[in-house]
């Protein structure tokens, strides 16, 4: 993943898009650094595909500007933007050979035939399909067709590669393989890439930066680790990963920790990131995988440290993991996902739940409607 600060190649400045009375994107400002893979992440209808289509020239902004290499492109025709595009359905020409599919953009640009041959051969080698040029798309598997779509997009040496849910039509095993394929190829070529998905695993595993969107608005941006571990609000924490939300009130603060009396009456410690004062209403966010479960009567080395009680009301076997649903005394249900242990807890069992303060993230409690 890219770590050094680079110049932005794509810039959104106050971008909005309205379809009649419906707002698809609202006042969005965002920079994409050259050579990075940036994922637009969010639920269906959040505006991520509309944003991508505005970059592509398939939609026009209602307000604001889009710049590529510092040049405003709002009114520039799609074919002059030097973009590579890959879509969910691959959009290969079924009546053309693989070679002609990959060569299409070069022919459109009047590239000489000998240069086309060289570039297409190189692109097919990059996607590890050097010998399929004479085949038709229907003779290829879904994963192979996806690779050909990638070859066609990169062969024109685009300034920006746009990918709209490109892996969603593949089965899970093939998706995992193609995630690595796309990520490795993007890093090797250094092509600035905007990747649209609703799949959090794709976003976390592939991205240099993630832009989380909801209802047309930016919720948070940052590297995958920061967005996952330091969610800016309830929506981001809920959408990205398995999160538990426990209400509480700040009762004490020191340099390292914030003490929070949670709704069960227990006092838990959370890492002190600043911004909170005594008496503040907060939500404590804890990822399901960060919690541990013990029998109620079992003692352990960190007895009493961020520990509270509950009762198992359901459980799910997940292969190497067990997912428990635990009811607290406040009647709130929390989820704990832990590695399989020798002792498997049963429904109805009273247990202790424990978590490190490092894994307790606080946000301001949102007003109740």
pLDDT of residue 369: 56
Nearest to 356 by CA among 309, 305, 308: 305
Output the domain CATH number for residue 322: 2.40.50.140
Pair 228, 258 in one domain: no
79 in a structural domain? yes
Do the domain assignments include residue 271? yes
Question: Are 267 and 133 in the same domain?
Answer: no
Looking at 237, 252, 271, the residue that finishes a domain is 237
Give the chain's residues under pLDDT 50. 1-3, 304
In this structure, the answer to whether residues 198 and 255 fall within a common structural domain is: no
Residue-range definition of the domain harbouring residue 101: 8-237
pLDDT digits (tens, 9 = 90+) for 323-362: 999 999 999 999 999 987 767 899 999 999 999 999 999 9
Q: pLDDT (tens digit, 9 = 90+) per residue, 233-288?
A: 999 999 998 999 999 999 999 988 999 999 999 999 999 987 899 999 999 999 99
**What CATH number did the domain enclosing 51 receive?**
3.40.50.300
Q: Identify whether 208 is part of a domain.
A: yes
What is the pLDDT, as a whole number, of residue 108? 86
Question: Model-level pTM?
Answer: 0.89
């Amino acid at each position: 993943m890219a770590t050094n600060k680079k110049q932005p190649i794509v810039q959104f400045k106050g971008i909005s898009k309205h379809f009649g009375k419906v707002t698809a994107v609202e006042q969005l400002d965002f920079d994409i650094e050259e050579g990075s893979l940036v994922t637009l992440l969010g639920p269906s209808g959040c505006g991520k595909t509309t944003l991508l289509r505005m970059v592509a020239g398939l939609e026009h902004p209602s307000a604001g500007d889009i710049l590529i290499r510092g040049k405003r492109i709002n009114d520039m025709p799609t074919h002059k933007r030097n973009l590579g595009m890959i879509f969910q359905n691959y959009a290969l020409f079924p009546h053309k050979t693989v070679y002609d599919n990959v060569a299409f953009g070069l022919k459109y640009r009047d590239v000489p035939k000998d240069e086309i041959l060289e570039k297409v051969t190189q692109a097919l080698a990059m996607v590890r399909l050097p010998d399929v040029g004479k085949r038709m798309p229907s003779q290829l598997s879904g994963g192979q067709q996806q690779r050909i779509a990638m070859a066609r997009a990169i062969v024109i040496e685009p300034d920006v590669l746009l990918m709209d849910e490109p892996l969603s039509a593949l089965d899970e095993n093939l998706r995992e393989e193609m995630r690595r394929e796309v990520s490795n190829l993007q890093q090797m070529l250094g092509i600035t890439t905007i990747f649209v998905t609703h799949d959090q695993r794709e976003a976390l595993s592939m991205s240099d930066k993630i832009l989380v969107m909801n209802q047309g608005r930016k919720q948070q941006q940052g590297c995958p680790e920061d967005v996952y571990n330091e969610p800016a609000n309830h929506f981001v924490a809920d959408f990205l990963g398995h999160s538990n939300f426990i209400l509480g009130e700040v009762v004490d603060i020191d340099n390292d920790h914030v003490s929070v009396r949670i709704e069960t009456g227990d006092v838990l410690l959370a890492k002190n990131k600043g911004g909170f004062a005594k008496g503040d209403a907060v939500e404590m966010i804890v990822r399901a995988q960060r919690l541990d479960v013990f029998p109620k009567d079992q003692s352990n080395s960190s007895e009493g440290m961020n520990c509270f009680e509950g009762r198992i009301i359901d459980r799910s076997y997940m292969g190497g993991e067990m997912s428990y649903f635990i009811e607290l005394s406040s009647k709130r249900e929390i989820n704990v996902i832990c590695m399989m242990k020798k002792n498997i807890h049963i429904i109805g069992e009273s247990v202790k739940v424990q978590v490190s303060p490092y894994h307790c993230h606080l946000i301001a409690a949102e007003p109740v409607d």
